[in-house]
Amino acid sequence: MNARVALQLSGVDRHYSQGDTFLSILKGADFTLRAGETVALVAPSGTGKSTLLHIAGLLERPDAGEVLINGRSCGTMNDEARTAVRRSDIGFVYQFHHLLPEFTALENIMMPQLIAGLGKSEAKERAAALLDYMRIGHRAEHRPSELSGGEQQRVAIARAVANAPLVLLADEPTGNLDPETAGYVFEALKALVRQSGLAAMIATHNHQLASLMDRRVTIEDGKVVEQA
């Protein structure tokens, strides 16, 4: 695969201290994610999945090692610079959609674009196009409470990619959905990755969905390990 590297973790350590207890979560972890690739992160609870996602998404700093986004080293950036990279290059999707309840589906997707400085008409046009792509354009003017779980999560995915990030990080994005809806949301997400050239790392306990991705990795003894 010759696609450019969107995200690279090199020799990443992360540990936590609680009183006299020293907990080592990641130990020299290496990971590479390329444009247009979907990678499933499948590992038991407590092994460091969320920690890995948070470090990859610049929400946490590693204790050692490098985090590179599109070839840029982000480890020594100050908080303002890291926030700027997150805003432009990284999209997040969580198990719970975290949509703003007082805004419509369309407005929720417009919000990150407006924060990034895009004009209102352009933001609205892109938000509407994303809703159409996710096959929920007819729900644009509905608030989250008026949407089904699958519709809410598709809005959350559209919001995550509204600013055309390089990397999409998802933490159990279908965990609250029934199997049929989860499959549909995942197919929409995968199609979006293919169409846009996004690089996506998706943490999931759903082995059936994981088997549909390009690669599967797990965390063993603090390291990221490829699965067959």
pTM: 0.86
Strand pairing class (72-73; 64-69)? antiparallel
Identify which of 28-42, 152-166, 204-218 has the greatest average pLDDT.
28-42
pLDDT at 24 over 80: yes
Mean pLDDT along residues 71-100: 86
Q: Where are the domains of the chain?
A: 5-226
- Which segment of 24-28, 78-82, 95-99, 222-226 scores lowest on mean pLDDT? 95-99
**Strand duo 223-227 + 21-34: pairing:** unpaired
The per-residue pLDDT for 33 is 94
**Percentages helix, strand, coil for the chain, rounded to the nearest 5?**
35, 30, 35
What does the pLDDT average to over 15-27?
85
Confidence of residue 174 (pLDDT cuts 50, 70, 90): confident
36: left (phi over 0), alpha (psi -120 to 50) or beta: left
CA distance 68 to 5: 9
Q: What is the pLDDT of residues 122-172, one digit of tens each?
A: 999 999 999 988 888 999 999 999 998 889 988 988 898 888 899 999 888
Domain 5-226 fold is Rossmann fold (3.40.50)
Burial of 142 (0-12, 13-18, 19+ CB in 10 A): middle
Could you give the CA distance from residue 74 to residue 72 in angstroms, rounded to a whole number?
6
